[in-house]
Structure 1
Amino acid sequence: MMFDLSIDGVVNFVKSWADAYIESDTVQQFVATLHIVMGRIGIPETIHPTADQVVLSTNITILTLLLYYHLIGRSHHSRRLQLTSDLHLAALRVLELEDLLLTQSKEENRKKGGGEVRIFMDGAFDMMHYGHMNAFRQGRSLGTQLIVGVNSDESITRCKGSPVMTDRERLTAVEGCKFVDEVIPGCPYVMTSDYLDYVIKKYDIDYVVHGDDPCVVDGKDVYESAKERGKYQSIPRTEGVSTTDIVGRMLLMTKDHHKRSGFEEDGAKLITAEKDGMKNNEILGTYSKFLTTSRMLRLFSVGVEAPEEGQRVVYMDGSWDMFHAGHISILKKAKEMGDYLIAGVHSDAIVNQHQGSNMPIMNLHERVLSVLGCKFVDDVLIDAPYTITPEMIASLKISQVIRGAATKTDEGLRYEHAINAGIYRKIDSPCDFSLDDIFERIQASQKRFENKIEKKKRQEQEYYDNLYGMKNGEKK
């Protein structure tokens, strides 16, 4: 039977459908139950709604909600996205202004010094990451030489709990950074006036430098004595990364920190505390909010030059996740086997495919910056192919392909062309430290780290709120 598409036909169809719906068992049972409930609470039968009225009011309510979402709710969503976009643009502008300020400070320092200007920075540098390396880069830009003091295990433990890495592991990480000229081991966590005098005289220090975030221990500014002497300068912290955030990723075991694209409103959120209605895992797990720009890559690539004619190019690839002392040691050994070292960094997808779980802990952009900051690496191949091809060998003029003996993945077809070309070599690392060691240490003290992270997250949120006048991604 043909459906009548005329106005009368459509009206009749809707009426017949509505009548059938109203007379259905489901609606009738619902209305009967509603009448019983209304009667029990003392509502007179004379005002009990009929089935027609119940269906009509229900449909009107649904229609109202749909219209509200379409006309108003979507505009709120668009507004949140716009605020997120504004926040990202503001952060980029802050980076530009900070760079300009550093340049001006650098020029002023050199004019005052009349030549060499020696900068001193200190810290724990536990689980050192590209944020620390960027601080070194900024600090060195204020002078001509950067001397870095590494706090001792004992002083760190006394002030803020035991570090994840040992003295030797943290020293190796700092020594391996290309922005560092000299390292002083065993520095105290709290810089006293006497120790500051000792450092300034012994190492001929012109300025003591630290990030612009507060560094307070037991209510005392760690750098108070340096400020009193006019020997203190601050640098902006690297936004979007901290040791706290990285440990949170390891504990939470999600992939939210992997490289994302576009503006996603959750990316601008600064996690609030559990008392505000969020679970503990939300406190621990914020994905990377680091803003990767061509400028930052360029600054980390300073000094990168193409290999000269006749130089032996060595290639070594990997995930380089949680860039640590083991990585630095084997890259140093690989560099000794040639003249020019290229480090290939695999994508998040490739690393996760072969290592599973929530690996890598650091996303591609973060890992690239960490490797670029290593003094033994001459260049970095970003999003390196998992399988080394003849074309790749020819294009990069690779003389030797190196693989660490401790690498868990099977050689398989990955290195087939390098093996056939006689340029493949497997080497042992001078340091047996690995990412597994970091996991074991974190998990062994999980509760302590969770409590520490919750406290630190609150401090980080307050820092960003004050910096941008934002509250959880919304303007105040």
Structure 2
Amino acid sequence: MEGAFDLMHFGHMNAFRLGRSLGTYLVVGINSDESITECKAPPLMNNDERRAMVQSCKFVDEVVENIPYIMNKEYIDWIFKTYNVDFIIHGDDPCIVDGRDVYETAKQAGKFRTIPRTEGVSTTDILGRMLLLTKEHHMKAGSAGVLGSQSKFLTTTRLLQLFSANVKSPTEDMRVIYIDGAWDMFHPGHVAILKAVKERGDYLIVGIHGDACVNKNRGMNLPLLNLHERVLSVLGCRFVDDVLIDAPYEISSEMISSLRIAEVIHGTCDEDDGYSSDKDERYRYAKEKGIFHMVKNPSTFCLKTIFERVRKNQEIFTTRFERKRNSETQHYKQKYNESSTS
């Protein structure tokens, strides 16, 4: 499977899961910045950031970098020979550049398979939410002319179960680590802190705050992704052993005992310069038990990084959003019209 995986989200993770289900080992190729820019537009995230995101997904076994956006026969032959690949996988939506099917060569070789696209989520939709930071993606649709729309993703217990595959309870001898947060628009900074924190113990539980809690503490129109979307994003990370859904903001003594937490972590980053744990009452019981620690995030990437890049190139991304939105609308209209008439 290959792609740009720019602004990687749980829809991409689900594609990896589906792709891997067709075999036993999933190799994911990541298009280079240059090839994406040439065929589409400059990506929001660079090669290293996109690689970190793909490598962090628990459904991915191996990553290949600097893959060309359009496959030719030489490249296809190299992939099959070098990585012993049986099939090249892509979603069921068309991928056309300059009137040419990107996967034409793979299809001609009989080595192409499709997987259903994860409906209700796309990079286009998330980009639209960021462009105006509208709250409408948490409310019922009604306002006209808004870029960000209500989340159309349908979270089922089956999908949560599939993303929770191989989640096991910690054994008595395991050191359980707990860290909580919003985890909005899961990004390389999140991956970096989760990897660092996981190294402090054997079992990592990640608390994910509810939408109202995030909005109260972060303000603006955050979170960009609703609770269910954020849960799937975190569950897809290979450094996470389990998640606490709609986690309480204050970590109680009972919660520490119930989950057998050995250490409570607060991850800090550059934008937390004014943060003082002494004034943060939600960690009071963890401090009293002597199990609270602050860990500096090794990455400087944060949600603000994404916002700044979008704002800096707002006109480019608005044009890109409108073009992709029209393309996606046409795809689903054709898909469901065909299925209803067949």
Tell me if TM exceeds 0.5. yes
Partner of 2:184: 321
Q: CA deviation at 1:466?
A: 2.1
- The partner residue of 1:227 within 78, 101, 107 is 107
- The partner residue of 1:182 within 62, 74, 78 is 62
Aligned residue runs from structure 1 range 286-305, under 5 A: 286-305=149-168
Partner of 1:161: 41
Q: CA deviation at 1:410?
A: 5.3
Partner of 2:75: 195
Describe the superposition over 1:46-101 as per-residue Cα deviations: whole angstroms up to 9, x where unpaired: xxxxxxxxxxxxxxxxxxxxxxxxxxxxxxxxxxxxxxxxxxxxxxxxxxxxxxxx
- The partner residue of 1:374 within 227, 237, 259 is 237
Describe the superposition over 1:346-387 as per-residue Cα deviations: whole angstroms up to 9, x where unpaired: 001000001111101111010000000000000010000011
Query: What is the alpha-carbon distance in structure 2 between the residues aligned to residue 426 and residue 439 of structure 1?
Result: 26
Q: CA deviation at 1:250?
A: 0.7
Partner of 1:465: 333
Q: CA deviation at 1:317?
A: 0.3
Query: What is the alpha-carbon distance in structure 2 between the residues aligned to residue 378 and residue 458 of structure 1?
Result: 39
Partner of 2:310: 442
Matched, 1:455 2:335: no
Query: What is the alpha-carbon distance in structure 1 between the residues aligned to residue 276 and residue 303 of structure 2?
Result: 18
Query: What is the alpha-carbon distance in structure 1 between the residues aligned to residue 71 and residue 289 of structure 2?
Result: 56
What amino acid is aligned across from residue 133 of structure 1 in structure 2?
M
Partner of 2:86: 206
Q: CA deviation at 1:460?
A: 1.2
TM-score using structure 2 length: 0.95
Matched, 1:351 2:214: yes
Query: What is the alpha-carbon distance in structure 2 between the residues aligned to residue 466 and residue 413 of structure 1?
Result: 54
Partner of 1:360: 223
Partner of 2:252: 389
What amino acid is aligned across from residue 461 of structure 1 in structure 2?
T
Query: What is the alpha-carbon distance in structure 1 between the residues aligned to residue 298 and residue 64 of structure 2?
Result: 22
Q: CA deviation at 1:469?
A: 2.7
Distance 1:410 1:364, change over 3 A: farther
Describe the superposition over 1:148-182 as per-residue Cα deviations: whole angstroms up to 9, x where unpaired: 00111111111111100010000000000000000
Query: What is the alpha-carbon distance in structure 2 between the residues aligned to residue 285 and residue 332 of structure 1?
Result: 32
Of Structure 1 and Structure 2, the greater helix share is in: 1
Query: What is the alpha-carbon distance in structure 1 between the residues aligned to residue 4 and residue 222 of structure 2?
Result: 25
Of structures 1 and 2, the one with the larger relative CO (CA 8 A, separation 6+) is 2
Q: CA deviation at 1:431?
A: 1.2
| The structure with more radius of gyration | 1
Question: Is contact 1:249–1:287 with CA below 8 Å preserved after alignment?
Answer: no
Query: What is the alpha-carbon distance in structure 2 between the residues aligned to residue 410 and residue 386 of structure 1?
Result: 16
Gaps of 5+ in 1: 1-120, 272-277
Query: What is the alpha-carbon distance in structure 2 between the residues aligned to residue 196 and residue 420 of structure 1?
Result: 59
Please list every run of at least 4 consecutive aligned residues from structure 1 whose deviation after the TM superposition is greater than 6 angstroms.
none
Query: What is the alpha-carbon distance in structure 2 between the residues aligned to residue 191 and residue 342 of structure 1?
Result: 40
Partner of 2:291: 423
What SS does the aligned partner of 1:145 have? coil
Query: What is the alpha-carbon distance in structure 2 between the residues aligned to residue 171 and residue 351 of structure 1?
Result: 28
Of 444-453 and 404-413, more deviation after overlay is shown by 404-413
Question: Is contact 1:209–1:232 with CA below 8 Å preserved after alignment?
Answer: yes
Query: What is the alpha-carbon distance in structure 1 between the residues aligned to residue 50 and residue 115 of structure 2?
Result: 22
Question: Is contact 1:131–1:241 with CA below 8 Å preserved after alignment?
Answer: yes
What amino acid is aligned across from residue 422 of structure 1 in structure 2?
G
What SS does the aligned partner of 2:308 have? helix
What amino acid is aligned across from residue 423 of structure 1 in structure 2?
I
Describe the superposition over 1:201-221 as per-residue Cα deviations: whole angstroms up to 9, x where unpaired: 000000000000000011000
Partner of 2:26: 146
Query: What is the alpha-carbon distance in structure 2 between the residues aligned to residue 337 and residue 201 of structure 1?
Result: 40
Q: CA deviation at 1:287?
A: 1.9
Q: Percent of aligned positions with the same letter in both sequences?
A: 57
Partner of 1:5: none
TM-score using structure 1 length: 0.68
Q: CA deviation at 1:433?
A: 0.8
Of 247-256 and 133-142, more deviation after overlay is shown by 247-256
Matched, 1:335 2:194: no
What amino acid is aligned across from residue 457 of structure 1 in structure 2?
R
What SS does the aligned partner of 1:469 have? helix
